Every structure is written in C-alpha cells, then in structure tokens.
Amino acid sequence: MPPDRTDANPAALPQPRVIPRAQHNLTRKHISRGALRVLYGLHEHGFRACLVGGAVRDLLLGGRPKDFDVATNATPEEIRKIFRNCRLIGRRFRLAHVIFGPEIVEVATFRGSGAEGEGDRHLVDGRIVRDNVWGTIEEDALRRDFRVNALYYDIADFSIIDYVGGMQDLAQRRLHLIGDPEQRYREDPVRMLRAARLAAKLQFTIDPAAAEPFPRLGHLLGDAAPARLFDETMKLFMGGYGLASFRMLEHCGLLQHLFAGTARALARDEHGALRNLIEAGLAGTDARVAEGKPVTPAFLFAVLLWGEVYALARGMQSEGIDRTLAWQRAAHKVMAEQMARVAIPRRFSYAMEEIWALQPRFAERSRKRVFRLMAHPRFRAAYDFLLLRAAESGELRERGEWWTRAQALEAEQLAAELAQSRTPPPPVSGEPAAPRKRRRRRGGRGRKPPASSTPDAPS
C-alpha cells in the first residue's frame, strides 16, 4: 500500500484493518465499467484510487449498487486532466463527475478533518456548510457517517481497508455512527434520515447511541436545505423500500419533522383507514419499482398528505365555507407548509393538486365527462388514487369497480352503455366538489356537507 502523507498526529489516527483480496467476496465483476475505468485511470497516473461508501457496503452484502463512488488523493483539477469526459460540480462539496454515456461516476478527493475556519471548511452553528479541505484517506474515513459506509476497496491490490470497524458492523447488521452522535447530527441533521433509510433498506439495526438523539435533535431537520430534503425524501420513498422507510421514520420519531401534516393526520387516525391508505400506496410504489415500472412522487405525496387536506377541508366546510373553495384553500395550505420543509418541484406539486381535484369527477357518468376524464393527462394517477381510497371505503367501492370496468371496455361499447343509463351514482361524503358544480351557486353556497358515515376515515 503506498504511504499517505499526513501532518496530523499519528496517534490520533485509526489503525486500519486490511482484508486482502482472498479474504473478502467483493469482485470486480460487479463493479460498473465506468467505475473501473476511473479507478484504473487514477491508479495509472500515480494516484490512490478506492471504491468507497454505499457501493462497497452493498457489494459486500451481495447487493447490486446503482451508483459507484470513488475516493482519491487527486484534486478535482488533477482528476479533470486525466478524464476528458469530466465535469467539476458543487461548491459546498466540490467533486468530479466522470461521465460514460448514461453512467456518472462520482469522484471525491479525500477530505481532511480541517479545524473550524481552516481552509475551505465552514461551520454555521455547528453545521457544516462547506467542506473542501483535502486530507488523507484516514481522515476521509473518519468524516463519513456510518462505519459500514467507510470501507475502501483499493484498486492497487483489491484489498478492503477498514479504519473504523465497518466489517464487523456489516457482519452484525448494525449502523454505528462514526464519532460523537450529537456532534455528527448537529454538523449535518440529514444523517438522521440516512440512518433511518439505510436501516430500512438493509434491514440493519441502528445502534442505540446513534438512535438516542433523534427525539432531542430531530427538529434540526428544520435547518436543512429544503432541496436537499426533497432529494432525501425521493431516496426514502422512491428507492424501492418506501414502506419500510416510512415505518422506520415513524419508529424513529422523524416523520413529524419531514411530513408534519402526515404525522398529525395519523395521530387522529383512530380507525386506521389513513394508515392503510398510505401503506398501500407505498407498497404499490415499491412493487412498481421492483418491476422496473415508472413511478411518480406526485402520487405518493398526494397519498401522504391526503389525510391532512381532507381534515382541513372538512373543517372549513363545517364553518360554512363552500366546498370547492374549502378544498382549494386546504390543498393550498397543506402544500405551502410541506414545501417550506421539503422543496417539492412545481411539476409534482401541481400534479398532486390535480390528483386531489380529479377525485369527485369519478362520480360523473355522462358520456362526455367520462371520456374527457379518461383523456386527462393525470387520469391514471387519479384513478390509482381512487382505488386506494376505494379499498378503505364501502361508499367508494362501487365507483372504483365501475371505472376499472369502464377502462376494460371498447370505446363504442362504453359509449353505448353510458347512453342507456344516465342516473348518476350517489355523492360520496366529504370529497372535494367537482369545479363545475360552482354554477349551481345559488342553492349550494354555504350549505353544510352531508354528515359522513365515517368521519374519522379520510379514505
């Protein structure tokens, strides 16, 4: 192993455990072509080059990582000189992207521990806002979050280098935070979400010392950048382990800091209808991810926040506010609160509001309106949403079945059936009114909604 230059006190640095090639199961066969080219390219130019992080962890566990991270002692400028297909990105955390067609390999220079204010490392209230001090591989290992995420696969001799006891944690399926948990969460509160997500995905237990601060420090997520929380939310719910992640977030008491409205609605959910709706939505998304089908976060966010929108809208209606207006205001309020925490891009937030607003239109049976709804760009998501609701509500079951059947029919057949029966199905309590009902304002304004048979069940 080539020696590393270090100015730090050697006594403070961990003694690595080196696991030679013959004693571990990580083979190059499962490393992407792009990552191998980067590793060899750096090595041939005399730099240290290791695969690191989630890819090493997942490969040792027998999984197939989606992305491969490389750590090196080459600086971003040096990396760029070696690879023409390279882009330097990030200011807060500068790194290189080396691009091979659809594959992007992230290459990061070893980070040092860098004392407060030294070089390009900055903390605000204990939070790391900039981290661009280069260091040695030992220092780089210590600034990573969990021990299992700090294993290095060295392309020089195909060994695994373990500075912090990551191999033992992998064997025991445990997540230990490196260093003092409180300090590490204060530096970066998103690490709490990473703990919950990785525990759910890997079916690992979170070490008690790493879990203990959650109730005290969970609120620090309010200081995290909303755009970053959106990225993390995507990984939590759209990565194929959404249901497990959701349950883990709740178990850790972190859901309230990410989706406050959802946590509040669940606290009121006496009969479990909302929980069933949410869990079915997450399980459905996980199944689609497993089958390689497309998924949209708009659908899932619409599911997560439905209980809160529903309760707010009902409350406003009981105060005499018109149904349509109540639903618009409720949707607006819930979205505003949510977007202040998690920056959901506009295209998704619009889609969520559409999914909600389309719900009452499934009650309509005139030929024109049925075909118009089917042609709506959000029809599929809104119909899937209706089916989730129908599973929780006797009132809606017939409606869900009707639309399932309608889609299976040929267009002419459906048109003929619609021409025969013109009686609309009875209204379902509590849902948003279809926008066009506004025309009948005179009698409808300020009227109280019919009492729901299941007032606690926002399905």
- CA 175, chain centre distance (Å): 19
Give the dihedral sign, CA 143/111/187/206.
negative
Tell me how far, at minimum, the Cβ of 106 lies from Mg ion, in Å.
8
Please state, in angstroms and rounded to a whole number, the distance separating the CA atoms of residues 196 and 252: 7
Residue 242 interacting with Mg ion (CB under 5 A): no
CB 87 within 8 A of CB 51: no
341 touches which of ligand ATP, Mg ion, none (CB within 5 to 8 A by kind)? none
Tell me how far, at minimum, the Cβ of 91 lies from Mg ion, in Å.
21
Contact window for Mg ion (CB under 5 A) among 25-33, 46-54, 174-182, 305-313: 46-54
73 touches which of Mg ion, ligand ATP, none (CB within 5 to 8 A by kind)? none
3-class state of residue 88 by DSSP: strand
Please state, in angstroms and rounded to a whole number, the distance separating the CA atoms of residues 415 and 404: 15
| Distance between start and end Cα atoms, the chain | 61
Does the active-site annotation cover 67?
A: yes
> What x/- string results for residues 246 through 275 when contact with ligand ATP is judged by CB under 6 A?
------------------------------
- CA 30, chain centre distance (Å): 26
160 touches which of ligand ATP, Mg ion, none (CB within 5 to 8 A by kind)? none
DSSP lists the bridge partners of residue 49 as 72
Residue 69 interacting with ligand ATP (CB under 6 A): yes
Tell me how far, at minimum, the Cβ of 190 lies from ligand ATP, in Å.
5
Residue 145 interacting with ligand ATP (CB under 6 A): yes
Query: Which of 54, 112, 114, 213 contacts Mg ion by CB under 5 A?
Result: 54
162 touches which of ligand ATP, Mg ion, none (CB within 5 to 8 A by kind)? none
Residue 181 interacting with Mg ion (CB under 5 A): no
Tell me how far, at minimum, the Cβ of 99 lies from ligand ATP, in Å.
17
Please state, in angstroms and rounded to a whole number, the distance separating the CA atoms of residues 264 and 266: 5
Query: Which of 45, 228, 235, 264 contacts ligand ATP by CB under 6 A?
Result: 235
Residue 76 interacting with ligand ATP (CB under 6 A): no
Contact window for ligand ATP (CB under 6 A) among 143-151, 348-356, 389-397, 420-428: 143-151
Of 140, 145, 207, 286, which residue is the catalytic one?
145
Does the active-site annotation cover 207?
A: no
Residue 53 interacting with ligand ATP (CB under 6 A): yes
| Residue 325 token pair | 């207006």
CB 56 within 8 A of CB 84: no
Residues 6+ apart with CB under 8 A from 106: 67, 68, 69, 70, 95, 96, 97
Residues 6+ apart with CB under 8 A from 69: 51, 52, 53, 54, 55, 105, 106, 107, 108
Tell me how far, at minimum, the Cβ of 54 lies from Mg ion, in Å.
3
Closer of 67 and 417 to Mg ion (Cβ)? 67
Please state, in angstroms and rounded to a whole number, the distance separating the CA atoms of residues 40 and 36: 6
Give me the active site residues, please. Answer: 67, 69, 145
Binding site for ligand ATP (CB under 6 A): 53-54, 67, 69, 144-145, 149-150, 188, 190-191, 235
